[in-house]
Chain A
C-alpha cells in the first residue's frame, strides 16, 4: 500500500467513524424538568356566544387550580359589545383584547380606539393587530408599513388620553422565519421610538425555526422590551402535554417570554384531521354537542380524569 493510498484510506475511515458517532449516545445532555408542567396560565379564547356556557363551566376549574389567570380575546369592529368577553372578565380573568385590522384600517383610528376603551374599560392590555399581513385570519390585510403608521397613531392617542393602558404590538407569524423578519422590519420602521415601558412586543411562535429567528431579532434589536408569546400550541391533542414540557421552557429561555398564551381553548368542533381545521389545538371539544370532551392537556391542567 503506497503512502498516498494509506492517507486516503485513513481519511475515509475517520470520516465514516465520525458520521457513525452521530447517535443518541453522544447527544448533548439536557436538564430535565421534574417539577411539573412548565405551564403559563394564559389561554387564547374565541369569544363565541355559542361557547358561552362551556367557558363559564371550565374557566373556574382552571382558575381553581391556578392554571388560568389571563385570556386573550378578539375585539371585532362589527359586533358591538361581546357578552362572552364581559362574562370572562367578570370571572376575574385578566384580559388582553386584540384590536383587529378592521379598526386599524379605519381612517379615524383614534375614534375607534375611544369606542373600544369605552366599551371595555375593564381591559388594560390591548394587542394592536394580530398577524396583520396574514390573509387567512384577516378579512383585510395590511402591509407592515401601513401597520406601523396605525400602531404609532394608536400609541400616541393612548399615551395622551389613556396612559394607564398598556399596548402590545401585533403578534407576528409563528412558523418559519417570516415572523422574525417582519418583526425586524417593524424595528426598522420605528418600533423602538415607542417606550419599552408602554409597549410590549407580541409574537406568535409555533416552531423551533421561528424561535431561532425571533431570538436573533430580539437579541440584536429589542433589548429592553418585554416579550409576550401571544400564541403557541400543537394541533395534535396527544402531543400537547409533551409540547408544553419541551417548548415552553424553550420560549422562556431563548425569547425571555414573560407570558405564553396557549392557542386555543376552543376553535370549533371540526374533525381535527380535516384540512385547515384548528380544532386540534382545542383544550375542550364537543362544545356544540355536549358533553364536553377534554384534551389530555386540559385534563392535566384541570386535574380531571374525564
Chain B
C-alpha cells in the first residue's frame, strides 16, 4: 500500500515538473465539494450514511503519462464527531471527452485516515454465538498517536461537464478495505473462536460541484 502511495506521489511530482517547464500553459485548477452516499450490506449488517469531501484538482492542458491530472482531497465521515472519520487522499485521473461537452473521468486514489467505527459491528445470535466485524486498521502512522489509522485504495468514475467556471460531476466511488470477521461460539462447553480476513468493496454514489480557476 505504501508503495502505491509513493508511486502516485512520484508520478504527480514528475508531471508537475514537466508542466512547469512549459509555456502557454492552459492547465487549470478546480476546487470541488462532493457529497457522498454509501449504502450496502457488510457481513449481515446494512449500512447507510453520508459524507462530504473537498478536493483540489490540477488539470493539465494535455495528458501526461496517459493521465489528465492529479487531486488532493479531504473527506469527512461522521460530521458531528471530531475524534474520527477524517481522511486525506491523493490521486490521479484521466478525462475522456465523450461529446456535447461531457467527459468521463476515471481515477484512482490512495486514502489515509482515521475511520469511524460505523463498519464495526457485532451480530449476536440466539444460540449465544456472535460475529464481530471490523475494518482492519493497517497503518501505524503517526506511530506516536497509534489510534488505528488505515490506508486503502479508492477507485472512482464520474461523468461531468464544465459550464463557464462551474464543474458538475456525478458518479460512483469504491473503497477497498480489508475486513476482519471474528466468530465466537460455544461447542461442547468450550468457548471457541475463528478469525477470517477479506477485502470488500464499499461503494458510494457521489455528486460534485466545483469551481474552475
List A residues at the B interface (Cβ < 8 Å).
3, 6-7, 10-11, 13-15, 17-18, 21-22, 24, 26-31, 196-197, 208-209, 212, 215-216, 219-220, 223-224, 226, 252-254, 256, 258
Contact = CB atoms under 8 A, between A and B. Distances in A.
Given A28-B77, A258-B130, A14 B191 contact: no
Contact of A215 (B77, B117, B191): B117
B79 A17 contact: no
Interface of B: 29, 31, 33, 35, 46, 48-52, 54, 77-80, 83-84, 117-118, 120-122, 124, 130, 132, 134, 137, 147-148, 165, 180, 182, 184, 190-191, 193, 195, 211, 213
A6 B124 CA distance: 56
Contact of B120 (A21, A24, A28, A254): A254
Contacts of B31: 10-11, 14
A26 B79 contact: yes
Nearest to A224: B193
A29 B52 contact: no
B156 to A, nearest CB: 19
B134 A21 contact: no
Given A28-B79, A196-B193, A219-B134, A226 B124 contact: no
20 contacts: A6-B213, A7-B29, A10-B31, A10-B211, A11-B213, A17-B33, A18-B54, A21-B52, A24-B80, A26-B35, A26-B79, A29-B49, A29-B50, A212-B84, A215-B117, A216-B137, A253-B120, A254-B117, A256-B122, A256-B184
Given A223-B193, A252-B124, A29 B48 contact: yes
Contacts of B165: 10
A27 B80 contact: yes
A26 B78 CA distance: 10
B213 A7 contact: yes
Contacts of A252: 122, 124
Closest 8 CB pairs of A and B: A28-B49, A224-B193, A256-B122, A7-B213, A256-B132, A10-B211, A216-B148, A197-B191
